[in-house]
Structure formats: structure tokens, C-alpha cells
Amino acid sequence: MRRFADMRHGLAGGALLLALAAVPIACEAATSRGLDEGLTKVDGGTLRGRLAKEVWSFKGVPYAQPPVGALRWRAPQPPKAWTGVREAATPGPICMQKIVPDNGVGPGLASEDCLTLNVFAPAGAAGRRLPVMVWIHGGGFVNGSSGAALYDGTQLARQGVVVVTLNYRLGRFGFFAHPALTAETPEGPLANYGLLDQAAALTWVQRNIAQFGGDPRNVTLFGESAGGMSVNRLMAMEAARGLFHKAIIASGLGREQGQSLKTAEASGEAFAARRGLKAVSAAQLRAVPAADILVAGDLNLFAGEAPILDGKVARQGPVAAFAEGAVAPIPMIIGSNDLELPAASAGLLLEKLIGVPEARKAAAIAGYGSPAAYAEHIATDLVFAEPARTLAKAHAGRGAPTYLYRFSVVSAKAPAGMSGAVHGADRQYVFQTLAASPWPTDERDAALAKTISAYWVSFAKTGDPNGPGRPRWPRYGDGDQLIDFTNAGPRAMATPNAAPLDALAASYPATPTSELGR
């Protein structure tokens, strides 16, 4: 879980949009002449990229000013211009986080100065209008980065799309509230600075992606874990409407509710008090050393510490938003891995934390076939599979093209005892970056990765993942069907474990609320 249109509606109290409007849009004619030579002009200045494997990459591109000093805990501001040609050969610093061994983190030192993105465009893209895929990394909103080799966009770009991967503020740098900050900017936006960063990156894409041969009218937003959670939230964010046109949500939870702004402010006061800061001002908060903020501990997704229900950027939990139709009615792929959280002890603990009524538990056990099967699958299904299916039902029920999946691939050389696809195991298949897998892979994995990646790219191009040479993926709503990515290849089928998933879904209130139990 460590790795979890129009902007008139006030993304940054109007300030961000006004500032962006003041920046001249880069000259497309200049791009047509320069991109094939590795040069392109964007907001801020000229970039020089690198060509490898028939793909141009432009890395470490600033999409906002560094959120440091007076800009800490503020909405992102447009990037400042630079002079000359900026070399874009390496990713920017990763956002502040505790560095842990994780193939989704990537190289480099952690810094608050981290609001950069990377662009991958196929050679010959200049002057074209290729589909765009924008990736949001996972990491529980506390770790990860866009510069990890796992998220290299080269193989996706080789299939005829422009790929963007981005950094966003993490931990308390990205999700934090305090009465002093609220008093300073009472109209907001507040608390969800990481989500605001993502929306700012999408705005940058709208303004600049044509310079790389991308079509700003055909943008697919995709993410995994916290990245998938972010896609859910951005689909519901009024200020993000029109900034993307399709969505892919991988292992993106959905039942999380989030603290209210008032609760988050109280948490912020407690954080400041532990540092000896009482009756503190916004300036004093911003003067706290970054290292002190980092050592205060990670955010807890299950306690609702990210994202925060501030009332503007995030108004309600995903299930409530989808049930009410308060999300963008765009084509969507959603799904999860078949054994995301395999530890039975953790699953039973989580079951008690969430609170499955005994009657529903008995029905779920009966559906799984045994208490042992229940213990093995309950955590995965409570956190990932049931919410994904519930969101798919709601979205398809309102007429939006929706595709549900399960990822069940387990490499032949995966660790002994791995009986299912664990959390995050799908990423190296989507990006075709098997060399970054935490365990060895073989030719079978390479063939599966090529097929899975092709589904994702076809969806980005047309809103339908289907294409020649691949098993047909049925639309959800034409039945309770999904596609299961197995070791033997993709298989369309009725949703597995439908009975226990129904029992788990029935454990929740019939009418979702914005903030359960808070």
C-alpha cells in the first residue's frame, strides 16, 4: 500500500488560471521544425530531448514553480521562464519521501523542488495529433516518482501515443490542513495540494502537448494504487473537467472516505503542537524544516488522511460521487489484481477494521467456499475488487463505456508461494518494462505484456480497448463480465466471486455518505 475543460471553477481560487493565461502558448510552427531534431518550445522556454529506440524523451520538465518557501502548502504556480536551451535528459528530483526499496520510487534525492514531468514521443510525431497517456504513479500518497525505470514510457510511445509521467507532492507536503492556512486562504483551495499538482500537470499538457505531436483533445489519464485513487478524484473534480477524456484506474480502491477539513485541521494542529508550535502562523508552519515534516510519520489512507474532503477539490468519497453521477461521463477501464494483499492475517484484521456484519460475513464465506478461502481473499476484495466492481456498475449504469478487468498473471520465476498477482504486479506489463520487475521474467511474460499494453493503447486511441488479434473485452453492463489477464492469456468471463462480492457490497449503507463515521 505504500506504493496507494475548463478550469473556471476555481482550481486555485482563480489565481492559477489567471497566471496560466498570462503565459504565451508555445509556437507550434517552431515545433514542427525542431522536434525531429530534439528541440521543442513549451511554457517557460526551449527543451532539448534525447532519442533512443525511436522515441524522443524530455525529462525533468517543470510544470509548476518549486513549492518551497512561501509556496509550500499553496496551489501550484506556473513555471518561470528560463533562458537558452534547457537540457531534458534526466528526471527531476523525486518528491519528499522516506526512501524505501521499491521499484516504483526511482533514482535521485528527495526534494520539495519536484514538480516536474517527463514526455515520451515517437520519432516523427512532429505536427501530428497522437493520443496522449498521462500517468500518475502510486505509493500510498507517501512515496514513488515518475522517474522510475518501471514507468519508462518508451514502449507505450512506440505504439503511437505520447506518454507523460508526472511527480506530485506527497505525504504532509501534499495533503495537510491547519487553521492558520485556512485563515490565510479561506476561499481555498486547501489541503489537497497533491491533487492540485496533478491538475496543474494536466493543464500543462493541454497547453503544451501539441508541441510533442500529442492531441490535447484526446488525453487518457491512468494510474495505479494512489495513482488510481487520484484518477477517481480527478474524475469528480469540477476544475479538472475537460482536461482528460478517458480514464484507467488500476487497483484504485474506492471505498475510502477522507477526513473532513475540520478533522484534518485538528490533525494539523496536533502535528504543529508536537513541534512546540501553538497559536502558530502560516509563515511559522512554512519555516518548519522539510526533514522535520518527513520524520513525523506517513499519512494513513485508512484513517482518511489523504485525500482530504476540503469541500472544493474533494467533496465526497468515490463511491458516493459515482453513485450520484458527479464524475466525468467518460470511457473508463477499472480493475484490480487477483490477490493484491495475500496475507490472511492482515485480511482478517482489515475485515474487523472495516466492519463486515456477521450475516454478510457468513454469506461471503459461503460464496468463497471455505473460511480459508475467505481469509485469503477478503483483504483484496474489500479494498480493491469490490469497490472496482461497484464503481464500474455505477459508471456503466449511467451509459458511460466501462470495462472491468482482473489481473492474474504470476511469472514462472516469481517468489515461491506467490499464488496470485500481488499489488503492483501489473505495472511492468502495462509499460512493457519487465526489466524493472522485482522478480525475473521470461518470454511468456513478454508476450503477455505486449498484449496487455496493446489493450491500454487501443483504449487511449479510441475509447475501446479491443483490436485485431486479441480476445474481445466485453463492455461492463452488457452483463456482469470482465476480462481476466491470466498466464494463458486474456479470457472474457463472468465476474469471479460475484456472490461474496455482492455480500461485501451489501455490508455498506445503501446510500453512500461523504464521510462515514466522522
Residue 175's identity, in one-letter code, is F
DSSP letters spanning 444-471: HHHHHHHHHHHHHHHHHHHS----TTS-
Those residues whose C-beta lies under 8 Å from the C-beta of residue 362, and which sit 6 or more positions away, are: none
Those residues whose C-beta lies under 8 Å from the C-beta of residue 193, and which sit 6 or more positions away, are: 67, 73, 74, 75, 76, 169, 173, 174, 175, 176
CA angle 91, 125, 27 (to 5 degrees): 80
- Residue 305 bears catalytic tag: no
Yes or no: say if 134 and 221 are a contact pair by the CB < 8 Å rule: yes
From the list 228, 442, 499, the residue with the least C-alpha distance to 340 is: 228
CB atoms within 10 A of CB 22: 8
Write 388-391 long-range contacts (CB < 8 A, 24+): 388/249, 388/252, 388/254, 388/334, 388/335, 388/336, 389/495, 389/501, 389/505, 390/254, 390/255, 390/319, 390/322, 390/505, 391/232, 391/249, 391/254, 391/318, 391/319, 391/322, 391/334
What kind and span of H or E run contains 388?
Answer: helix 386-397
| Cis status, amide bond into 307, omega within 30 of 0 | yes
Catalytic residue among 178, 305, 423, 458: 423
Query: Angle, to 10 degrees, between the axis of helix 498-505 and the axis of helix 386-397?
Result: 80
- Residue 340 bears catalytic tag: yes
Catalytic residue among 225, 267, 453, 458: 225
- Residue 423 bears catalytic tag: yes
3-state SS class at 118:
strand
Catalytic residue among 112, 256, 340, 386: 340
Q: Return d(Cα 160, Cα 457) in angstroms, integer.
A: 8
Task: Please give the grid coordinates belonging to residue 141.
Answer: 500518497
Q: Return d(Cα 334, Cα 232) in angstroms, integer.
A: 10
The alpha helices in 71-178, defined as continuous H runs, are: 154-157, 171-174
Yes or no: say if 241 and 328 are a contact pair by the CB < 8 Å rule: yes
Residue 188's identity, in one-letter code, is G
Q: Return d(Cα 164, Cα 153) in angstroms, integer.
A: 8
Residue 481 bridge partners (DSSP): 494
Residues with a known catalytic role? 225, 340, 423
